[in-house]
Amino acid sequence: MTSLVGRDLDTICAVSTPPGTGGISVIRVSGDKSLALARQISKFLPEEVQSHKIYFGLIKDPVNSEVLDEVLVAYFQNGKSFTGEEVVEISCHGSPVVVDAILAVLIRLGARMADKGEFTYRAFMNNKLDLVQAESVLSLIESQSKKAAKLAQRHLQGALSVQLNHIESELLWMSAHMEASIDFSTEGLQIVEVKELSARMSTISAELKSLISSYKMGRLIKDGIWSTLVGRANVGKSSLFNLLVESDRAIVTNIPGTTRDLVTAETRHEGNKFVLTDTAGLRKETIDQIEIIGMNRSKKAMSEADINLFVFDITQGLTVEDLEILGDLDPKETIILGNKSDLKSLSKEDIFKVAQIRTSKFFQKLTSFDDFLNRQVRILSALDIKSRSAVLDMILGQIVGNNSSDEVLISHARHFEGLNLALTHLERAEKNLQNKMGAEFIAMDLKESVLKIQQILGKAFDDQIMDRVFKEFCLGK
């Protein structure tokens, strides 16, 4: 990616709507020459153009007066636009030919094509957004569920930034007092009580730990809950998979080993995104090399899933092979689904009352067998449409639990890394304070902790940080 730093004086342009044919396309122009450029191609604009007002007319090539399109032009004055600069937005017909013609004229007149994310970058540089909010713009654009969009909106509105600014303020207070302690150490003056400093450190440590622990939930909301259907061959995994994703994605037959490779699809339920993977049935007796490769991929998918849906056939009960597969799974990340209830009606208690089942490797890991049975076991039929919501609700209950939708969560790896580093330095400062180390050692770690928070917010940054944040943006945003 081309570095955006040092290119702020150019007037830039790009189409901000998705590429391809559509009803309309919006071309955004930002920079101190935006209105002057717009006047050259939009002679219908009045002498006194008002900010946030839309004007209708024909755009013409100033060289030969060729009509390029019938458009709407909106003007946003300096300081009152998304980028904080003078901005013009041209709404034209959504033909790539028309869009390219208008962009070509704007570039010929002195604008340049914007780099990826450059409009948002300028909003950041002009203090319209901090770096957390800038990242949330992309998260909002790419959100694929209601909850992901809501989380991005909360970050864009500053919920996370407010908390990070509070943490920064507290760390700065501690750092300033420790620096002052160094300056006045020769005079024997104590600038801040150790008890008060320790209490503040503990409070901020707790806040940092809370944010760090929210990363898993934030990532699941942003990227979706990854669930893998696992079990023996021919227990109905593919039928259940098709029901959950509401599509005939996986081939269903009576022949064991039909599914040879991973089949992945997305679905949505209750405002959440789910990414589901159907896997090759696990069995020992096959010598088919392709099926063996598929089973190895199944085991890898099991280890990477947020939660595994273990499927067994209730007409056969839990077999030795079932128990061996279960033995490799973590009960905290497993839901057990007894399939084919349309063929046989059994209660959960009847299925799991056998002593050898309760004493198997998987169930020995449980702290409470009855609790697991009530919360994480479901008897169902892949032929019953009600099974879909039942299973997805179980996944939500297992993953989301009692998390509040209004809780501040982090969802970006960059924030997770930065907060962990900030906490590491703060905990080191706490330890040095308890061990009565010199103020200069405590101050050094506090300054590093402050720096990590400032880097998350974008108050301290370099080209590498900017590159990491904005390289994922699309043109026009």
The secondary structure element, H or E, covering residue 172 is helix 159-183
Is 6 inside any structural domain?
no
Q: Among the three residues 128, 157, 177, which one is the final residue of a domain in this structure?
A: 128
What residue numbers bound the domain in which 153 lies? 138-214+409-458
- Parallel, antiparallel or unpaired: strands 377-379 and 334-339: parallel
In whole angstroms, how far apart are CA 116 and each of 42, 127, 136, 309?
27, 19, 15, 40
143 and 240 share a domain? no
The tally of CA atoms less than 13 A away on the side-chain side of residue 349 is: 1
Residue 1 banded pLDDT, cuts 50, 70, 90: very low
Quick check: 226 and 304 in contact, CB under 8 A? yes
Predicted pLDDT at 189? 45
Predicted pLDDT at 351? 84
The closest alpha carbon to 145, from 438, 436, 452, 400, belongs to 400
Is 445 inside any structural domain?
yes
334 and 437 share a domain? no
Only one residue has tokens 């892949």, namely 382
* CATH number for the domain that contains residue 449: 1.20.120.430
Convert the pLDDT of each residue in 124-172 to its tens digit: 999 999 999 988 988 888 887 888 888 889 999 999 999 999 999 999 9
What is the 8-class DSSP label of residue 155? H
Predicted pLDDT at 196? 86
Buried b (16+ CB within 10 A) or exposed e, 83-117: bbbbbbbbbbebeeebbebbbebbeebebeebbbb
Residues 6+ apart with CB under 8 A from 261: 280, 294, 297
Q: Among the three residues 78, 96, 128, which one is the final residue of a domain in this structure?
A: 128
Quick check: 14 and 113 in contact, CB under 8 A? yes
243 and 332 share a domain? yes
Is 133 inside any structural domain?
no
Burial class (CB in 10 A: 0-12, 13-18, 19+), 17: middle
- Parallel, antiparallel or unpaired: strands 67-76 and 87-94: antiparallel
Quick check: 306 and 220 in contact, CB under 8 A? yes
In whole angstroms, how far apart are CA 356 and each of 48, 103, 323, 365?
86, 73, 10, 14
Number of folded domains in the chain?
3
Predicted pLDDT at 94? 94
Convert the pLDDT of each residue in 317-366 to its tens digit: 888 889 988 988 999 999 999 999 999 888 888 888 776 777 788 888 98
Is 2 inside any structural domain?
no
Predicted pLDDT at 16? 93
Q: Is the pLDDT of residue 5 over 70?
A: no
Q: How far is CA 198 from the centre of its chain?
A: 34
232 and 352 share a domain? yes
The closest alpha carbon to 437, from 170, 197, 200, 199, belongs to 197
241 and 349 share a domain? yes
**What 3-state DSSP class applies to 267?**
strand
**What 3-state DSSP class applies to 346?**
coil
374 and 448 share a domain? no
262 and 344 share a domain? yes
Q: Among the three residues 95, 128, 161, which one is the final residue of a domain in this structure?
A: 128
The span from the CA of 343 to the CA of 235, in Å, is: 12
Is 435 inside any structural domain?
yes
Convert the pLDDT of each residue in 172-222 to its tens digit: 988 888 877 765 555 544 556 788 888 999 999 999 999 999 998 898 888
- Across 67-84, average pLDDT: 95
Only one residue has tokens 């600038």, namely 191
Is 469 inside any structural domain?
no
Convert the pLDDT of each residue in 21-51 to its tens digit: 989 999 999 999 999 999 999 999 999 999 9
Quick check: 274 and 224 in contact, CB under 8 A? yes
* CATH number for the domain that contains residue 297: 3.40.50.300
236 and 353 share a domain? yes
* CATH number for the domain that contains residue 22: 3.30.1360.120
Is 70 inside any structural domain?
yes
The span from the CA of 317 to the CA of 152, in Å, is: 45
254 and 323 share a domain? yes
17 and 118 share a domain? yes
Is 199 inside any structural domain?
yes
229 and 196 share a domain? no
36 and 155 share a domain? no
